[in-house]
Each structure stands twice: as C-alpha cells, then as structure tokens.
Amino acid sequence: MLRQIKEAFRNPKFLVGFILFVLLLLMAIFYPMISMYEPLTYYATSFEKPGTYVNILDIANSEGVKLNVDTAAGRLDSVLTDDQKETMKDWLVRFGGVEESAIDLEDSESFLKLWQDNYDSKNPQKGLRTADKKAVARLDKQLTTALNSDSIDIAGKNEEGELEVVKSIPGDHFINAGSVGNSYTFPLGTDNFGADVLTKLTSSIRVSLRIGLVAGLIGTAIGLTIGLLAGFLGGWVDNFLTFVTNIFTVIPSFVILVLISNAVSASARGATMVSVIIGLTSWPWTARSVRSQVLSLRGRDHVNLSKLSGHSMPRIILQDILPYVASYVVMAMILQISSGILAEAQLSMLGLGPNTSTTTTLGIMMNWAQQYSAMQSNSWWAFVPVVISITLITFSLNLMNTGLDQVFNPQLRD
C-alpha cells in the first residue's frame, strides 16, 4: 500500500492534480478565516469592479503628501476613452495638419502635447457638422479641466450658512490609501448583492467540496455494499442487485435528482441534505465496477483457502476481498466527488440546490450571476472565477484519477 502511494506521487498526472486540489482546498479553508469580509454580508448594492474602494469624504479630510510626479498622463488615461482618442487623432490629421505617422496613441504625454499645440476651436473645420464641432470643443474643455494641476478648493457652509473655503487640495498631493479611514479592497469585485466575490467564492468552494465529499462517501458506501454483496453472494441476490443497478445506470441520475430535490421543501434543503440526495443517486457505476472486481476475486486461491478454513463471510470480505478492491473504490470515490460537485451546481442552477439564505455554493453563485445577467452587464468577475474554480476542482480530481489508474494498471502507461 505504502509503495503504491509512493508510486502515485511519482506519477506526474496524479502529482499535478493533487497539488492543484490541495491549493484549492487550502484557499477554501484559510481565506475565509483571514478575510475581513463575511461571505453573505452585502457591502455594495450591485456588481462593482474589482479594486480598492476609498471613501471620498475621508480623502477630502486627509492631509496630503506632495509627490514629485507628473499627474497629467495618469489623469488623461482615466478621463479619455479609446474612442475619444480616435476622434482627437482624426481631428488632428484632418484639420491640425499633423502627419498620421507622427501620432502615437500609446504615448499619452506626447499625444497630449500634440493636441494642445495644434487644436484651435477657431479652425474652420470644413466638412464637420456643427454638432461634431461642439463635441470636439467639449472634449478639449474636459481635457483642460482634467489636466488642471492647480488646486481645487472645497467649500463648506459656515455658521451663518454661507459658503466659505474649508480646504484647498493641490493637484500634486497624494494620500496613502491604507491610511484612509474607510477603504475596502475587493480583489474580485462584488456580486449582484454587493458581497465580496473572493470571500464568497472561497467559502463556496469549501461548501461545494464538502457537498462533493459527503455525496461521494455516501455514494461509494452504497455502491461498495451493493457491489460486494452482489459479487460475493451470487445467485438470486446477484441477479436482483445487478438488475436494479443496471436500471439505475440507464435512467439518468439527473432526473431522479431533480424529482427528489423537488419533493423536499426548500427550507429543509441544507447543504447536507443536498449532498445526501446526490449520494443516494450516484452509486450505480461504483456498484457495477465493484461487483465485477469481486466476481474475478471470488475464484482466486486465497479466497477459496479462506472459505475452506471456515472463516466467516464478513471476515473473508474484510480480509481477502476489500484490500484488493480498495484501489478501485478510491478511484471511484474521486470521480464521485467531482460529479457530486457538478450535480450540486446543476441543481442550484435550476433552483433546486441548497437554501440560498443560509449558505453559498459554487452553483448558487452561478445561479445568481445568471439571474442578474452578469454576462450581459460585463461583470465577468461574478462568474468567470466561479466557472474556473469548478473546472479546476473537477480537472484536478480527474487528473488524480487518471494518475492512479496508471499506477494501479501499469499496462495503461504508454
């Protein structure tokens, strides 16, 4: 056994899958602990982009630090869109007498200089509609405002209710984002409710893994029991169990899953309940492969010897059969964990997953993303990380399974 474990870790496929899986597991366990957010608390009101959010009032009240840097280019990039740049370039080529080759949109600083040197609102601009002329003029004004490095005065009402300058903020002053009283970093943005996606994601991975694991354990236990009984006892027990197993391999487990989940009321469907339901429907393939393994083992010499020595059936199964089917059972269980995680995601997408008010899973996150049209609103952070997480989990589990298969069945190596 130890030798096989060692060999498994020397198999590149198993190793890659194992490392991936452990990384995901560690992240799922520890990130929610160190994260300053709760997975089900709403910090924003809707999808917000990934980034650090700093309170504007706090900034206005902070004392700035003067930095000797040029702030114009950075501001230009945050103000100007690519479309606007194209419009400006177009104007410069047509009316400003600038060669197209002399313009480099990537170099904001020199582009800006070109614009300031050549733009003139009094230019006749032949062939341009009035509305377009005005649009360009507006653009120019917007730029001038943005590039104004002079200080901005903040006014507040005094005791008499008159406005007076409270503070003046120079254009080259900075503050440390960390020292602002109210600063929130959402590395993967917020979801439709405004919860932190990364915290929610890691918490979901944890719950989904638990569902997969419990479902896998239950499914494997049932499959193993049925397979052992059918293969070992033979006769009518075998006939009956094989018949049942075959029927449930053909009837799609998805259908039974939907029927049972739908029969359980939504409030009773916790994560554990869902994993039990998934486990109850996922055993047939395991039962099938265990049975065929046991059938081939039953005729082996060491089993016959055990029988002749008068050992009891449980003892024979435990001592002479289980150790030989253990490797298959482990592999089957790995596959069941991954299909359990997928099954949960499917159920949640249909609205039959765990109760959404108490827990969060990968499937539930996908469901919300779908219901709140995250794809249409370009809020990729609300679903791309979730899809990638599901895929990485199943991919790592399948890699481990393939690796183990190669270790246990050396003829598969090529």
Partner 1 sequence: MRHIRRAFSVSTFDEVIVLKGYLKYYGKRIMWYVLTLVVAVFLNFLLPRLMPGDPVQQLAAQATAGSTDPTVYLKTVEQYTKEFGLDKSLPEQFFIYVGNIFQGNLGTSLSKYPRTVTDILGGSIGWTLALQIPGIIVGWFLGNLLGAIAAYIRKSIDTVVLPIFMFISNMPAFGLAFIMIFIFSNKLGIAPSGGGYAYDLVPNFSMEFVGSVLKYYQMPFWTMVLISIGGQAIGMRSMSIYELNADYVKYSRFLGIKDHKIVMYVFRNAMLPQITGLAMSFGTMIGGNLVAEMVYSYPGIGTTMFQAINTRDYPLLSGCTLLITIMVLIANLVVEILYGVVDPRVKAAQMETE
Q: Which of residues 54-83 bind partner 1 (CB under 8 A)?
A: none
Which of 169, 375 has the CB closer to partner 1?
Answer: 375
Is there binding between residue 364 and partner 1 (CB under 8 A)?
no
Q: Which residues pair with 54 in a beta bridge?
A: 183
Is there binding between residue 249 and partner 1 (CB under 8 A)?
yes
Provide the minimum distance between the beta carbon of 249 and partner 1 in the complex, in angstroms, as a whole number: 7
Provide the minimum distance between the beta carbon of 372 and partner 1 in the complex, in angstroms, as a whole number: 13
**Interacting stretch for partner 1, rule CB under 8 A, among 126-134, 184-192, 260-268, 305-313?**
260-268
Instruction: Give counts: helices (H), strands (E), the chain.
Output: 17, 6
From 201, 383, 385, 407, residue interacting with partner 1 (rule: CB under 8 A): 383
Instruction: Decide: 66 and 173 in contact? Cβ < 8 Å.
Output: yes
Quote the CA–CA distance of 123 and 368 in Å, as a whole number.
53
Which of 197, 390 has the CB closer to partner 1?
Answer: 390
Provide the minimum distance between the beta carbon of 132 and partner 1 in the complex, in angstroms, as a whole number: 25
Quote the CA–CA distance of 122 and 64 in Å, as a whole number.
40
**Interacting stretch for partner 1, rule CB under 8 A, among 72-80, 109-117, 323-331, 388-396?**
388-396
Angle at alpha carbon of residue 388, lines to 333 and 196, rounded to 5°: 110
Quote the CA–CA distance of 154 and 162 in Å, as a whole number.
13
Which of 84, 262 has the CB closer to partner 1?
Answer: 262
The 3-state DSSP class for residue 384 equals: helix
Provide the minimum distance between the beta carbon of 12 and partner 1 in the complex, in angstroms, as a whole number: 11
Which of 195, 345 has the CB closer to partner 1?
Answer: 345
Provide the minimum distance between the beta carbon of 99 and partner 1 in the complex, in angstroms, as a whole number: 33
Provide the minimum distance between the beta carbon of 385 and partner 1 in the complex, in angstroms, as a whole number: 11
Provide the minimum distance between the beta carbon of 274 and partner 1 in the complex, in angstroms, as a whole number: 15
Which of 131, 250 has the CB closer to partner 1?
Answer: 250
The 3-state DSSP class for residue 363 equals: helix
The set of residues, in sequence order, having a beta carbon less than 8 Å from that of 42 and lying 6+ positions away, is: 193, 194, 195
Quote the CA–CA distance of 101 and 96 in Å, as a whole number.
14
The 3-state DSSP class for residue 51 equals: strand
Is there binding between residue 247 and partner 1 (CB under 8 A)?
yes
Quote the CA–CA distance of 131 and 151 in Å, as a whole number.
32
From 80, 274, 317, 343, residue interacting with partner 1 (rule: CB under 8 A): 343
Which of 108, 249 has the CB closer to partner 1?
Answer: 249
The DSSP element (H or E) to which 152 belongs, if any, is: strand 152-157
Which of 62, 336 has the CB closer to partner 1?
Answer: 336
From 366, 400, 404, 407, residue interacting with partner 1 (rule: CB under 8 A): 366
Is there binding between residue 412 and partner 1 (CB under 8 A)?
yes
Is there binding between residue 252 and partner 1 (CB under 8 A)?
yes
Helix intervals (H) in 161-282: 197-233, 235-250, 253-263, 271-281
The two three-digit tokens of residue 195, written as one number:
């919860």
Q: Regarding beta strands 152-157 and 163-169, do their DSSP bridges make them parallel or antiparallel, or are they unpaired?
A: antiparallel
From 105, 166, 305, 375, residue interacting with partner 1 (rule: CB under 8 A): 375
Instruction: Decide: 228 and 317 in contact? Cβ < 8 Å.
Output: yes
Is there binding between residue 346 and partner 1 (CB under 8 A)?
yes
CA distances from 152 to 65, 90, 167, 268, 275 (A): 15, 32, 8, 58, 59
Is there binding between residue 205 and partner 1 (CB under 8 A)?
no
Is there binding between residue 270 and partner 1 (CB under 8 A)?
no
| Burial environment of residue 413 by CB neighbours within 10 A (0 to 12, 13 to 18, 19 or more) | exposed
Residue with tokens 């007498």: 97
Reported residue count of the chain is 414
Provide the minimum distance between the beta carbon of 275 and partner 1 in the complex, in angstroms, as a whole number: 17
Which of 19, 177 has the CB closer to partner 1?
Answer: 19
Which of 271, 352 has the CB closer to partner 1?
Answer: 352
Provide the minimum distance between the beta carbon of 209 and partner 1 in the complex, in angstroms, as a whole number: 15
Provide the minimum distance between the beta carbon of 359 and partner 1 in the complex, in angstroms, as a whole number: 19
Helix axes 362-371, 384-408, angle to 10 degrees: 150
Q: Which residues bind partner 1 (CB under 8 A)?
A: 246-247, 249-260, 262-265, 268, 338-339, 342-343, 345-346, 349-352, 366, 369-370, 375-376, 378, 380, 383-384, 386-387, 390-391, 394-395, 398, 412, 414
